[in-house]
Amino acid sequence: MASDHHVTGVPNMTMDEFRKSLIAAQPPAELTPALVGLRWDAKGDWTRAHESAQQDEGPEGSWVHAYLHRKEGDQGNAAYWYGRAVKPVCREPGRA
């Protein structure tokens, strides 16, 4: 099913285009560090995802950072990053 929804922070990219970008070896240049982190996570590379999230010190990078630590099972670290992102702490287990 096609999606016309645009990726937040990237007005010229739809969700379908973001998903298709997973095939490429490198992320599109227009992605923010937080989105690059989510992209690497979707490709199964937690380390690169974490490194990308760390490059964004704002709320979006902190939110991705929280998600990644929740996914790895480090709830305490995740809670810290949710706080930095000004988001409620997600207590559901992350998908691995």
The three-class DSSP label of residue 91 is coil
**Prediction pTM value:** 0.82
Tell me what pLDDT residue 61 has.
95
Q: Span 81-96, mean pLDDT? A: 83
What value, to the nearest 5°, has the Cα angle with vertex 56 and ends 51 and 60?
110
Backbone angles phi, psi at 7, to 5 degrees: -70, 130
Q: Is pLDDT of 91 > 80?
A: no
Distance, in Å, from the CA atom of 89 to the CA atom of 70, rounded to the nearest integer, reads 10
Per-residue confidence at 11, pLDDT binned at 50, 70, 90? low
Distance, in Å, from the CA atom of 55 to the CA atom of 33, rounded to the nearest integer, reads 6
Q: Is 80 exposed, middle or buried (0-12, 13-18, 19+ CB in 10 A)?
A: middle
Considering only residues 86 and 96, tell me which one the structure prediction assigns the higher pLDDT: 86
Mean pLDDT for the chain overall: 86
Rg (CA), the chain: 13
Task: Please give the DSSP secondary-structure letter assigned to residue 1.
Answer: -
Tokens representing residue 82 in the block: 């949710």
Full set of structural domains in the chain with CATH: 32-96 (1.25.40)
Considering only residues 17 and 62, tell me which one the structure prediction assigns the higher pLDDT: 62
